[in-house]
């Protein structure tokens, strides 16, 4: 019985790729979602988000209150009229959605490597299922 290099390749290659893909999966999955809010310097003006967001202050839309200079901010130096308002969005769903494709790719690689690893482990048993006395019939045309 001749020994090939397939079993060594399957066990070592499959095991290494499996370990690396599982480590990558855990690294991507374990990365915290710290930056879920839009940074303050990238906050959108209130007018650009009017189709998705409306802020009411005492039953008056915030844009109208700012335009009429009805909105003031109390400070130590005295009241300050608010001239503009910006909106920060929560980006957690988009960040989670961006993780999906790398996780799917790493899962597929891990599955393929696991199959290769298992085939490498059980290669001698699979070879034992081959019957030496089996006669293959080849029909001539």
DSSP conformation class of 60: E
CA distance 121 to 11: 6
Q: What is the pLDDT of residues 58-79, one digit of tens each?
A: 888 888 888 888 888 888 888 8
Question: Residue 1 — very low, low, confident or very high, per pLDDT cuts 50/70/90?
Answer: very low
Instruction: Look at residue 8 and tell me whether its pLDDT is greater than 60.
Output: yes
Is the pTM of the predicted complex or chain greater than 0.85?
Answer: no
Instruction: Report the DSSP beta bridge partners of residue 57.
Output: 60
Instruction: Report phi then psi at 37, rounded to 5.
Output: -100, 145
Cβ neighbours of residue 113 closer than 8 Å, sequence gap 6 or more: 13, 14, 15, 17, 18, 21
């Amino acid at each position: 019985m001749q020994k090939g290099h397939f079993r060594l390749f399957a066990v070592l290659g499959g095991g290494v790729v499996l370990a690396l893909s599982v480590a990558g999966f855990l690294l991507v999955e374990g990365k915290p979602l710290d930056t879920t809010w839009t940074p303050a310097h990238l906050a959108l003006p209130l007018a650009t988000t009017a189709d998705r967001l409306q802020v009411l202050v005492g039953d008056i839309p915030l844009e109208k209150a700012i335009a009429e200079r009805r909105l003031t901010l109390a400070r130590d130096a005295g009241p300050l009229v608010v001239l503009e308002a910006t909106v920060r969005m929560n980006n957690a769903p988009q960040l989670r959605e961006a993780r999906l494709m790398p996780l799917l790719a790493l899962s597929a690689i891990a599955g393929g490597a696991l199959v290769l690893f298992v085939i490498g482990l059980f290669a001698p048993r699979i070879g034992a299922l081959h019957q030496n006395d089996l006669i293959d019939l080849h029909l001539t045309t």
